[in-house]
Chain A
Amino acid sequence: MTDTAKVTENFTVSAKFLGGEEAEIISELMQDLYPSIVVEDFGSYRALTVDGEQLVFDMGEIAEEIGSAYTVTNFLAILVSYKGDIDVGDDSITIKVFAPKPQ
């Protein structure tokens, strides 16, 4: 098998957060909402990964868990990377599977 053939297509969606209390709270919330999510704590950052489904981060739900107001601005301050197709809304951020199609 050529090495190029070893690069297989995948449909992973992930979000990586600056390590800390907010990332921990968001991880726990998302684990409740998405049973198949995998959470990895690397110390300096935390990664949330699912395969083949989208992740919706709702600021209202996060605020509820954190115990204070929480906005998209707060969220984007700790989102260090993502994998997928991101869409930033007023009160939520969605990361979908990256699967573009020609028009």
Chain B
Amino acid sequence: MKINEAYNRVKDMEWDPTYIDLDEKTIEKTKFYLDGVNPIDPFKTFVREYCEQELEKDDRHYALLEASSRLHSGPPDARWMEGMKFGLSNLVGVEYAAARAMGRMARTVAPIELRQGYMMQMLDEMRHSNLEMNVIRHHMRTWKDPAGYDIAAQAGVNSVGSAIFRSMVEDVMTSDPVETSIGLQVFIETAYTNVFFVGLSTAAAAHGDDVLASTLLTIQSDEARHMANGWATLSALLQDDRNLPLIQQAMDKWSWRMHCSFGTGNALFADYFVRNHTESAKEMTMRWVYEDFYGGFYKKLEAFGIEPPKHLDTMITDMDWLSHSTAIYLFGAWPVFFHRFDGIDDNEIEWFENKYPGFKQHFGQFWQTYRQCLNPDDGKLILKEMGGLPHFCQVCNRPNIFPRPDIATGCSRMYEGKQYSLCSEGCDDIFMKEAPRYVGAKNFYDLYEGMELSEVIVALGYVREDGITLMAQPELEPDRMWTLDDIRACDYVVQRPEFPPLKS
């Protein structure tokens, strides 16, 4: 039987149960209009073929994992391996949340063609969270300093940097169940996982991390189906003109949110977690996201009346500084992370100046100062030299330093008597439309204001087994590692800075 014929036959097995009404069955409603649409499912995946395919993928990937335990191709690059302690800690929770989101969509969305794809995707996302946990476990067992890999799951929840990813994915999975498709399948999986998982896989391989390269690519092979799910959902929605304003709102919101999360993370990893620089993060993102996704996919939606995302101009100009502003935040706040940092050298500064004209003028001083704050015996903390941490955005959880600290576009708003910080016009728009969704989150200052820094590090759980040495270190191979006593000697107390200008 031909696949199209079999597919139509399986669809005919759909039924309306008599033991439960539709409202009870779907539990949640969607604001989008899906009655009478004719969705397409380009992959037409059946469970039998799905299992066969995934088994083949797992056989190939886990064979590599096993072989890597026996074969010794030389140690991977330390800057990359340490950076991935932070990088990988963010992914497991995101994948698991995506699985929950897909289950929710499969329950709520009516057309069977779409539901089948969502159910397969739910299984995929569980696979992905397992794959990522396995690579974390592999690295924990094989990397010379496992501290940081061993707490990846915990750090993914409580790290100040991970809040960027966590807030995004919690926003995605609690949105309108169909709008979730636009956030997750259109923006994360069609735009950003391509650059993140395929683009960064070459960096992983180039730095001796073949295990992660294989993990990222096998994950992305499932994302290919998720991209199709996203287009199947979107093309169904576009069949009803009543959905157009809802789609536009969703496009405006999620394009910005993904720029602030995946876009920010990828820029950091591509520029600052690699030693072998080939392509800049800006070049990579322009190619994969702005050319491939926006030029090759999004622009075609104009035929349906969909306009470019409201903040697209800002997203593109942000690329000039995104990785560097993110880096000085992470490196500046190194004690509250859980990996060894590796500052850039003079050659890299020159390389960055070539790729990002003006880099030395705006960021050179930070890196000079950073090098002066490496030795714990000098008692100098880069965080103090920078004047402390800035405010964090109540929506995206990024620090208020974007696009660049000297031209940061943050503002603040009052809501029910309390003042909240926003990093940008994009996040301000989101906050003003849906403030109740965001005001419940406790930021870094809500949690740690008034605490001395060593107390914060202990509260986070980022101390090595000896109970006194920090997991994080400002360099890869320090002569002496920073301890809690060294932090106490720097006498840094977490103080909430002044709010950005208030908007009424």
Query: Which A residues are closer than 8 A to B by beta carbons?
Result: 2-4, 6-12, 16, 18, 42-45, 72-74, 76-90, 98-103
Interface string of B299-320 (1 = CB under 8 A from A): 1110110001000110011000
Given A3-B317, A6-B290, 11 other A-B contacts at CB below 8 A? A3-B316, A4-B313, A7-B290, A7-B316, A9-B296, A10-B291, A77-B60, A77-B221, A80-B218, A83-B296, A88-B3
Contact A3 B313 (CB under 8 A): yes
| Contact status of A102 and B295, CB under 8 A, knowing A81-B223, A88-B43 | no
In the complex, which residues 25-49 of chain B have their Cβ closer than 8 Å to any Cβ of chain A? 42-44, 49
Residues on B with C-beta less than 8 A from A43 are: 202, 205-206
Q: Which one of A42, A86, A102, A103 lies within 8 Å of B42 (CB-CB)?
A: A86
In Å, the complex CA distance between A83 and B191 comes to 11
Residues on B with C-beta less than 8 A from A12 are: 292, 296
Nearest A residue (CB) for B317? A3
| Contact status of A6 and B316, CB under 8 A, knowing A44-B205, A88-B43 | yes
Contact B56 A7 (CB under 8 A): no
CB distance from B291 to the nearest CB of A (A): 7
Contact B57 A77 (CB under 8 A): yes
14 A-B residue pairs with Cβ-Cβ distance under 8 Å, sorted by A, are A2-B313, A6-B316, A9-B296, A18-B60, A76-B53, A76-B221, A77-B60, A80-B198, A80-B224, A82-B224, A88-B43, A90-B2, A100-B235, A103-B239
In Å, the complex CA distance between A91 and B206 comes to 35
Nearest A residue (CB) for B210? A44
| Contact status of A99 and B290, CB under 8 A, knowing A80-B221, A88-B43 | no
In Å, the complex CA distance between A77 and B57 comes to 5
Contact B60 A7 (CB under 8 A): no
Residues on A with C-beta less than 8 A from B204 are: 44
Contact B295 A100 (CB under 8 A): no
Residues on B with C-beta less than 8 A from A85 are: 42, 231
In Å, the complex CA distance between A4 and B313 comes to 5
In Å, the complex CA distance between A43 and B217 comes to 12
Residues on A with C-beta less than 8 A from B239 are: 103
| Contact status of A102 and B304, CB under 8 A, knowing A6-B316, A73-B52 | yes
In Å, the complex CA distance between A89 and B43 comes to 8
Nearest A residue (CB) for B293? A83
Contact B3 A89 (CB under 8 A): yes
Q: Which one of A77, A87, A102 lies within 8 Å of B303 (CB-CB)?
A: A102
In Å, the complex CA distance between A73 and B304 comes to 34
Interface string of B173-209 (1 = CB under 8 A from A): 0000000000000000000001001100110111000
In Å, the complex CA distance between A102 and B306 comes to 12
Contact B198 A45 (CB under 8 A): yes
In Å, the complex CA distance between A7 and B303 comes to 16
B375 in contact (CB, < 8 A): no
In Å, the complex CA distance between A87 and B228 comes to 10
Residues on B with C-beta less than 8 A from A77 are: 53, 56-57, 60, 221
Contact A42 B224 (CB under 8 A): no
Nearest A residue (CB) for B223? A81
In Å, the complex CA distance between A4 and B316 comes to 8
B469 in contact (CB, < 8 A): no
Residues on B with C-beta less than 8 A from A90 are: 2-3
B471 in contact (CB, < 8 A): no
In Å, the complex CA distance between A16 and B228 comes to 15
Contact A86 B290 (CB under 8 A): no
In the A-B complex, list the 3 residue pairs whose CB atoms are closest, starting with the nearest. Answer: A3-B316, A44-B205, A9-B299
In Å, the complex CA distance between A10 and B298 comes to 10
In Å, the complex CA distance between A89 and B299 comes to 27
B476 in contact (CB, < 8 A): no
In Å, the complex CA distance between A101 and B239 comes to 10
In Å, the complex CA distance between A98 and B186 comes to 14
CB distance from B321 to the nearest CB of A (A): 14
CB distance from A63 to the nearest CB of B (A): 16
In Å, the complex CA distance between A45 and B197 comes to 11
Residues on A with C-beta less than 8 A from B313 are: 2-4
| Contact status of A98 and B194, CB under 8 A, knowing A10-B295, A44-B205 | no
In Å, the complex CA distance between A8 and B296 comes to 8
Nearest A residue (CB) for B49? A73
In the complex, which residues 478-500 of chain B have their Cβ closer than 8 Å to any Cβ of chain A? none
CB distance from B355 to the nearest CB of A (A): 18
B359 in contact (CB, < 8 A): no
CB distance from A12 to the nearest CB of B (A): 6
Contact A79 B224 (CB under 8 A): yes
In Å, the complex CA distance between A45 and B221 comes to 11
